[in-house]
Copies of this chain bind each other. A is one copy, B any other.
């Protein structure tokens, strides 16, 4: 999102009020946080902080998690914006009727036990429809986890609306919105999202989609200023034509990454008992995705990384102009494997011009190689590796994107030196500060200036402080060397698609 425009949510859409309720009634929570999902969800909502007015409904308890509880929704002194129903399926029907009478128009029904369990569940689902129609209500679910909105009402307050996950472990907020027919994908992926730096705007578990479906949410996200990338987990596409029309409109401006769970025998059986839907043929769904410009994968780790890759490109408007990649490495093996996989994915790793090679030779050791990949071999000049060489290659105009392998943890490097008996002078101790100043900040500026992404990689797990430092500066970094080429390929393909569509539309 461009910094000059004011960012606005999609306030005119009916889903805005689902994502930003002021007051809620909650059915199914108690004080034993371990015993029911409702109790956990209330705990999450509390910890998210945004919502001030919370009205738990319970037949016996007086106080629930610090809030005054009511015997019935009719006892609540106001008409809440929103009701949460986490009850056995038959109780859902009764309570929904009462909510209707009370005048509540928006519901989240997390309870399972509907369509996915067979005939009896389908009858119960029909009752949900009837009550919703009678009182002009809309609802998310049933059989879902719920809602996370990182940009609740007044973004400057940094409060969230979240019932799905424990808020102290959520990733940073950002421009990625997820719509998922699985609660796990909407919530349990947050541990990795946080570690990898996948910054979430909203994450919605839509469940059986009896009343509100993913097309509704796509429509919301299309015009939501806080959403620039969309992730989908799909077991069923209910409104095929609308889905295609909507995603075709979205993808030229906001990339969509999707996982489709169906398409095999056991997967279809699993889906039937999960959300009660009929999984469609893999080829049909793939054709739908391709025709709409949707990027698809069967890997959850790739899904998370692709979202991060596109989120970065969107946030800083850094899109490669072609598919030529320059590789800079301090290790021949990783350089060779990256060159190989880049070419297998369809990227090009062109040999550098004689002129560029000569400039490179001036700052690398004599045994190093100035071809593409540039392999500095053993060289402790980290600023050359991480900044000066990528800068030379950027300025040459010979590539559209760069991968640099060789990020270590500079704190660990210092620790190791000290542990092995070396006395460090002040200059050495300042290596990490120096890298932050002389590498991270200026490379980000250059990326924006040239519209050339620079992807970093190294041998460490993401957990290491220096990987987290790159992530905190919003600089794409990857564990080892499998992912940079794969992600760059996704980005280059999307950049081309985007160019073509935006050109056609003008």
- Asked if A266 meets B339 with Cβ closer than 8 Å, knowing A182-B331, A184-B331, the reply is yes
Chain A 403-421, CB-CB to B under 8 Å as 1, else 0, gives 0000000000000110111
Within 8 Å of chain B (Cβ to Cβ): is A333? yes
* B264 x A34 contact (CB < 8 A): no
CA distance A336 to B233 in the complex (A): 11
With beta carbons under 8 angstroms apart, the residue of B264, B416, B459 that contacts A189 is B459
Interface assignment of A273: CB less than 8 Å from any CB of chain B = yes
For chain A, the bracket of interface size reads: 35 or more
A280-310 contacts to B, CB under 8 A, are: 298-302
Contact B480 A300 (CB under 8 A): yes
Q: Once the chains are docked, how many angstroms separate the CA of A208 from the CA of B403? A: 26
A433 at the interface (CB under 8 A from B): no
Q: Does A22 contact B (CB under 8 A)?
A: no
A301 and B480 contacting across the interface, CB-CB below 8 Å: yes
A441 to chain B, nearest CB (A): 25
CB distance from A237 to the nearest CB of B (A): 15
Interfacial chain B residues near A259, Cβ < 8 Å? 337
Q: Closest approach, in angstroms, between the C-beta of A98 and any C-beta of chain B? A: 23
A375 within 8 A of B: yes
Enumerate chain B residues within 8 angstroms of A184, measured Cβ to Cβ. 331-334, 459
Copies in the complex: 2
Q: B460 to A461, Cβ gap below 8 A?
A: no
Q: Which of B117, B340, B349, B461 contacts A367 (CB 8 A)?
A: B117
Q: Are A422 and B33 in contact (CB under 8 A)?
A: yes
Cβ–Cβ < 8 Å partners of A369 in chain B:
270, 273-274
B300 lies within 8 A of A428 (CB)? no
- Whether A261 contacts B380 in the complex (CB less than 8 A), given A266-B349, A269-B351, comes out as no
Complex Cα spacing A189 to B458, Å: 10
In Å, the complex CA distance between A331 and B181 comes to 11
The A210-259 residues at the B interface (CB cut-off 8 A) are 233, 235, 259
A340, B264: Cβ atoms closer than 8 Å: yes
Interface centre among A264, A301, A337 (most CB of B within 10 A): A337
Asked if B300 contacts A344 (CB within 8 A), the reply is no
Enumerate chain B residues within 8 angstroms of A336, measured Cβ to Cβ.
Answer: 182, 235, 261-262, 267, 270-271, 274
Report if A340-B266 is in contact (Cβ < 8 Å); known contacts: A371-B273, A428-B34, A480-B301.
yes
Does A372 reach chain B (CB closer than 8 Å)?
yes
Q: Which residue of B lies closest to A42 (CB)?
A: B420
Q: Which chain B residue shows the least CB distance to A420?
A: B43
Interface residue A342 (Cβ < 8 Å from any Cβ of B): yes
Partner of A33, one of B113, B183, B420: B420
Q: How far is the CA of A6 from the CA of B280 in the complex (A)?
A: 56
For residue A125, give the distance in angstroms from its CB to the closest CB of chain B. 14
Q: Give chain B residues whose Cβ lies under 8 Å from the Cβ of A320.
A: none
8 closest Cβ pairs, A-B complex: A182-B333, A274-B332, A266-B349, A273-B369, A184-B331, A267-B340, A188-B459, A264-B343
A-B contact pairs, 20 of them (CB 8 A): A32-B422, A33-B417, A34-B422, A112-B377, A113-B366, A182-B333, A183-B333, A184-B331, A261-B336, A262-B336, A264-B343, A266-B339, A267-B337, A267-B339, A269-B351, A270-B339, A270-B369, A274-B375, A300-B480, A300-B481
